[in-house]
Amino acid sequence: MERKQSWLFLVLCNLRFAILVFLCSSCFCNATESPQYKVVHSESDVEIRLYGESSWVSALVSDATSFEKSTKDGFHRLYQYIHGSNLNSSRFKMTAPILTSITPSANGSDYFVRFYLSSKYEGGPPQPYPELNLLFDKWKSHCVAVRQFSGFAKDDNISKEKEALVTSLDNILSGTTDNMKDKNSYTVAQYNASNHLSGRLNEVWMNVSGFTAEGCPSY
Ligand SMILES: *[C@@H]1O[C@H](CO)[C@@H](O)[C@H](O)[C@H]1NC(C)=O
Ligand SMILES: *[C@@H]1O[C@H](CO)[C@@H](O)[C@H](O)[C@H]1NC(C)=O
Ligand SMILES: *[C@@H]1O[C@H](CO)[C@@H](O)[C@H](O)[C@H]1NC(C)=O
Ligand SMILES: *[C@@H]1O[C@H](CO)[C@@H](O)[C@H](O)[C@H]1NC(C)=O
Ligand SMILES: *[C@@H]1O[C@H](CO)[C@@H](O)[C@H](O)[C@H]1NC(C)=O
């Protein structure tokens, strides 16, 4: 009798455990970590977000001309880092989005490809192998204007997406793009792995300040 009860207890226990594992893996454990933000202004084709502090590991591809090639080169270095090419042989869970920040340079553009570092590494992330030539960036809290687009982010249309974002922003800010710290720099955020062919989400980001009423820090 006693044996039967304890057996039943075990079954129930395991069932509960199994459900717990299932819930956990479907809701929490597999969730991709992303930097936290709050939407402070929203229109049909543009959103202003206030991001909290965030840490990134970055690969610089300098004086290049192709967004696609630079993102691929930079991501390849980051991929090695997050798969163990660091002094702790640590492996990281994938986070999203992967950013490519584009800034004009002497003979083309500088492309910073960035991987978001989970807040658990705030204290100090593992050091990359030096030959990967990676940098750590800590971003203070700031506002970004965001425009979403689908498909693959490509050389032939990211600058169009950026121009469309600037146009929407000009409307919101009634032509005073003073609120944009640097009108020439922008960032492409990609959320999906390259083997996802449909239902892809990308964004173009530009730093803004001056939405002080909404809580955006001014510079
Ligand atoms: C840009 O290109 C010119 C001509 O090819 C070269 O002399 C110059 O050093 C380059 N500048 C940089 C920053 O690479
Ligand atoms: C990496 O390893 C060093 C030395 O073993 C240790 O002090 C440090 O805390 C580790 N860092 C992380 C992020 O695990
Ligand atoms: C946007 O602002 C953050 C925080 O001030 C800064 O670290 C980052 O370099 C800026 N990005 C661009 C593309 O200018
Ligand atoms: C860029 O390409 C994507 C997918 O190919 C498309 O959804 C988007 O509308 C294009 N953007 C522009 C501005 O042409
Ligand atoms: C792409 O990423 C976005 C944002 O995380 C997600 O909502 C969407 O379902 C993803 N698409 C695919 C095909 O996985």
Mean pLDDT in residue range 164-186: 78
Mean pLDDT in residue range 215-219: 76
* Atom 6 (ligand 3) nearest CA: 139
pTM for the model stands at 0.84
CB 192 less than 6 A from any atom of ligand 5: yes
Q: How far is CA 77 from CA 45, 71, 102, 113, in A?
A: 33, 10, 17, 9
CB 161 less than 6 A from any atom of ligand 4: yes
Give residue 187 CA to ligand 3 midpoint distance, Å.
Answer: 9
Bigger pLDDT: 50 vs 14: 50
CB 157 less than 6 A from any atom of ligand 4: yes
Q: Identify which ligand lies nearest to the alpha carbon of 108.
A: 1
Give per-residue pLDDT as tens, 44-95.
999 999 999 999 999 999 999 999 999 999 999 999 999 999 999 999 999 9
Q: Give the pLDDT band (50/70/90) at residue 132.
A: very high
Give residue 204 CA to ligand 3 midpoint distance, Å.
Answer: 14
Mean pLDDT in residue range 101-106: 96
Please give the CATH architecture assigned to the domain spanning 37-214. Answer: Alpha-Beta Barrel (3.20)
Give residue 101 CA to ligand 3 midpoint distance, Å.
Answer: 9
Most confident of 20-24, 164-168, 178-182, 187-191: 187-191
Give residue 148 CA to ligand 5 midpoint distance, Å.
Answer: 12
The pLDDT of residue 157: 94
For residue 181, pLDDT beyond 90: no
Mean pLDDT of the chain: 86
The pLDDT of residue 6: 52
Rounded distance between C-alpha atoms, residue 23 and residue 152, angstroms: 32
Q: Give the pLDDT band (50/70/90) at residue 175.
A: low
Q: How far is CA 55 from CA 62, 110, 133, 140, 166, in A?
A: 21, 20, 17, 9, 26
Mean pLDDT in residue range 16-31: 50
CB 139 less than 6 A from any atom of ligand 3: yes
CB 150 less than 6 A from any atom of ligand 4: yes
For residue 27, pLDDT beyond 60: no
The pLDDT of residue 26: 43
CB 215 less than 6 A from any atom of ligand 4: no
Bigger pLDDT: 32 vs 187: 187
Residues near 86 by beta carbon (within 8 Å), at least 6 away in sequence: 125, 126, 127, 128, 129
The pLDDT of residue 14: 55
The pLDDT of residue 119: 81
Rounded distance between C-alpha atoms, residue 144 and residue 162, angstroms: 13
Residues with CB under 6 A from ligand 2: 88, 90, 124-126
Mean pLDDT in residue range 146-158: 97
**To which residue do tokens 């967004």 refer?**
67
For residue 179, pLDDT beyond 70: no
Q: Identify which ligand lies nearest to the alpha carbon of 51.
A: 3
* Atom 9 (ligand 4) nearest CA: 149
